[in-house]
Structure 1
Amino acid sequence: MSDVLLFSISLAVTVLGLLASWRAARSRGLPSGLRGAAWSLVPLGFYLTGLTAFLSSLVLNPTRWTGVAVLGLAGVLYVVSGVKLRSRAQPGPRRVEAGGRGAAPVPRGGASASAGAGGMDDDMKEIEEILRRRGI
């Protein structure tokens, strides 16, 4: 594609986007309009940095598409390796034997503990039984 055509298309898309952003700012508020203006300036920025020429030559070039596919595969492999590394670093839930480390504390102390608790021993026995059944 010629440079003049790419510039005309980029400028037209930018101007249309800025007009739509102005309307959005009036109807939905300033933050929405500013966000639209930011996105509207992207095509002109692409043209000025040369990315538009690169992208237009990319469309019909199989070698560049192969390069894009290889870069995509590299990105996927990198993300998968990070997920696998993270899952290996964080072990799953461990089972703790009853009475072992991590078991729920059971108050001991006979009459003084039950007198102040008022039926707390029965509740603790139920909780202890539930925890024992679940292997905690």
Structure 2
Amino acid sequence: MGEYDSATWSAVGVALTAVGLVLSVAVWRRRGVASGVRGVAWSLLPLAAAMTGLLRVVWEVADSVSSWAARLVFSPTVWAGIVVGGISATLFVVSGFLRRRTPEGRARKERKERKAAGPGSAPAAVTASGPKPARTGSAPAEDDDMADIEAILRKHGIS
């Protein structure tokens, strides 16, 4: 749009405030004092925005957004850019899944676990294959389902 001077923006602010004040009087009569005072408060905002220069900024932002939206809807280049961005996001997600499934991804996970365990602790493989402490008779009896789950975990080397 064209450039407007400060007098134009002030006139727009005054006009919007005048319309708002007229509507506020109608609301005051119909709904009471609280609604009318709130209407007056809202009505004074366009004048304040015009006096501070914010009305011009809001107009420029709205103009820029509408121009961008029009380019978005009607430009094949913009749609191609959106497709490329979607492909990029999809590839990021796929690469994350692939990293977890490759041997190097598992090795990286094991190194991270060892680092998190601390410098004085034994590696996970040594800890898993080491002797297990004997259970005392004071422990509660295990559920049959839990025993099945533990057997499956032991079968796969996870304990």
TM-score by length of 1: 0.42
Which structure has the bigger radius of gyration? Answer: 2
TM-score by length of 2: 0.36
